[in-house]
């Protein structure tokens, strides 16, 4: 079968002919219908040995694609609850089911797949879905009923990662509180939707791009703030004004640059919570200004299968807006180029 592989660190992916996998007893063979392209694929492709987590932690030579959806093509002899032809999505974070993290409800930290700084996941160190077929254990596959795989593919990373992050602050978002979401891109657009669906907090969206703020409004932001890459001051003032001096009860930073971290620290209400998702590699000055807020700084990594089930359920109820830009399987590189250039209006999805 044809597959799009990362063959060497630091080089663009390549189309190669690879053997079609066949399912073991507990596996499902999926005929790929849709694979979302993600910014982290670009980080993998760009990775130079000695310079970052991917090349230093994972073995190269794997099929890219970690937002995967398609139709069951074949099931192993032990799989009795999925039918051939059924539409499914795949949760890309792998789990052993036995380690302390897996049994403690944090399977996304599974020790069996930990590789130095990161985990080997489907499409990241382990064969992913940019191929005609994808093989996955039954335990990683979730049925989406009559759902359209093209619309569900972006849910499996972009949406579910945002969902997991929002879950870590949702208890705080009681009526009368404010949530600030920074960076309304692939992930943040879902972040706004989840806060809207799951709370009655005032939602303030921050971005450096006006068009992203327009989308933020459309998906539920009560207020939007146009920020800039270096000076967090004016955006902080606007948040303080919109919250009548109270500050934000919860902040989710989908950027993670020095300026967004500074903004988060400035606008947190005393004992507020800042959750960091973005990986732009910023640094934060820890002085009296920050300590004085007594705020919680947390990191949210990935998601669990239960998160994905819940996100698919919201989608099935018609409660999520998903914007996709379609590319054919021959246009994977074009999709990545458009993503890199920032030209996409929605998630790039390769449709087979």
Residues that bind Zn ion (CB under 5 A): 96, 99, 102, 110, 112
Nearest to 46 by CA among 37, 55, 59: 55
- Among ligand NAD, Zn ion, none, the one that 186 touches (CB under a kind-dependent 5 to 8 A) is ligand NAD
- Distance of closest approach, residue 140 Cβ to Zn ion, in angstroms: 13
Q: Between 99 and 226, whose beta carbon lies closer to Zn ion?
A: 99
- Among ligand NAD, Zn ion, none, the one that 197 touches (CB under a kind-dependent 5 to 8 A) is none
Q: Between 76 and 129, whose beta carbon lies closer to ligand NAD?
A: 129
DSSP 266-282: HHEEEEEEEEE---S--
For residue 340, give both structure tokens.
Answer: 């890199």
Nearest to 334 by CA among 60, 4, 7: 4
Q: Between 72 and 180, whose beta carbon lies closer to ligand NAD?
A: 180
Q: Which residue sits closest to ligand NAD, CB atoms considered? A: 185
- Distance of closest approach, residue 280 Cβ to ligand NAD, in angstroms: 6
Nearest to 167 by CA among 262, 44, 306: 306
Q: Between 107 and 207, whose beta carbon lies closer to Zn ion?
A: 107
Q: Which helix (H) or strand (E) holds 45?
A: helix 39-46
- Among Zn ion, ligand NAD, none, the one that 128 touches (CB under a kind-dependent 5 to 8 A) is none
What DSSP designation does 170 have? Answer: G
Strand 62-63 versus strand 118-119 pairing type = unpaired
CB of 63 closer than 8 Å to CB of 18: yes
- Distance of closest approach, residue 347 Cβ to ligand NAD, in angstroms: 8
Q: Between 102 and 311, whose beta carbon lies closer to Zn ion?
A: 102
CB of 102 closer than 8 Å to CB of 34: no
Q: Between 16 and 99, whose beta carbon lies closer to Zn ion?
A: 99
- Distance of closest approach, residue 257 Cβ to ligand NAD, in angstroms: 5
- Distance of closest approach, residue 302 Cβ to Zn ion, in angstroms: 13
* 3-state DSSP percent of the chain in helix, strand and coil, to 5: 35, 25, 40
- Among ligand NAD, Zn ion, none, the one that 110 touches (CB under a kind-dependent 5 to 8 A) is Zn ion
- Distance of closest approach, residue 19 Cβ to ligand NAD, in angstroms: 30
Residue 203 to residue 209: CA distance in whole angstroms: 18
Residues near ligand NAD (CB under 6 A): 39-40, 161, 182-188, 206-209, 212, 227, 229, 254-257, 259-260, 277-280, 300-302
- Distance of closest approach, residue 1 Cβ to ligand NAD, in angstroms: 27
- Among ligand NAD, Zn ion, none, the one that 278 touches (CB under a kind-dependent 5 to 8 A) is ligand NAD
- 3-state SS class at 22: coil
Q: Between 102 and 155, whose beta carbon lies closer to Zn ion?
A: 102
Beta bridge partners of 35: 68, 350
Most distant CA atoms of the chain, gap in Å: 62
Nearest to 184 by CA among 216, 159, 158, 218: 216
- Among ligand NAD, Zn ion, none, the one that 129 touches (CB under a kind-dependent 5 to 8 A) is none
């Amino acid at each position: 079968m044809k597959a799009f592989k990362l063959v060497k660190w630091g080089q663009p992916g390549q189309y190669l002919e690879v053997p079609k996998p066949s399912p073991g007893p507990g596996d499902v063979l999926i005929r790929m219908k849709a694979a979302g392209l993600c910014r982290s694929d670009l980080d993998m492709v760009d990775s130079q040995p000695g310079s970052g987590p991917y090349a230093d932690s994972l073995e190269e030579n794997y099929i890219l694609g970690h937002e995967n959806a398609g139709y069951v093509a074949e099931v192993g002899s032990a799989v009795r609850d999925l039918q051939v032809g059924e539409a499914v999505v795949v949760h890309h974070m792998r789990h052993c089911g036995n380690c302390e993290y897996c049994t403690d409800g944090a399977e996304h930290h599974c020790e069996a797949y930990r590789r130095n700084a990161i985990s080997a996941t489907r499409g990241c160190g382990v064969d992913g879905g940019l191929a005609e077929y994808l093989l996955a254990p039954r335990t990683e596959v979730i049925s989406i009923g009559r759902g359209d795989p093209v619309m569900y593919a972006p849910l499996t990373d972009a949406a579910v990662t945002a969902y997991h992050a929002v879950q870590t602050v949702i208890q705080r978002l009681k009526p009368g509180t404010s949530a600030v979401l920074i960076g309304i891109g692939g992930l943040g657009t879902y972040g706004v939707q989840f806060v809207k669906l799951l709370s009655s907090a005032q939602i303030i969206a921050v971005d450096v791009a006006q068009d992203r703020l327009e989308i933020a409004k459309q998906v539920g932001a009560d207020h939007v703030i146009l920020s800039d890459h270096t000076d967090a001051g004016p955006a902080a003032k606007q948040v303080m004004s919109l919250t009548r001096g109270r500050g934000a009860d919860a902040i989710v930073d989908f950027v993670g640059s020095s300026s967004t971290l500074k903004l988060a620290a400035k606008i947190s209400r005393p004992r507020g919570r800042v959750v960091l998702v973005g990986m732009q590699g910023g640094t934060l000055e820890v002085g009296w200004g920050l300590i004085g807020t007594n705020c919680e700084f947390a990191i949210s990594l990935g998601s669990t299968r239960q998160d994905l089930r819940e996100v698919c359920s919201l989608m099935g109820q018609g409660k999520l807006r998903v914007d996709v830009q379609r590319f054919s399987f021959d246009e994977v590189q074009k999709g990545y180029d458009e993503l890199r250039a920032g030209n996409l209006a929605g998630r790039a999805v390769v449709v087979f």
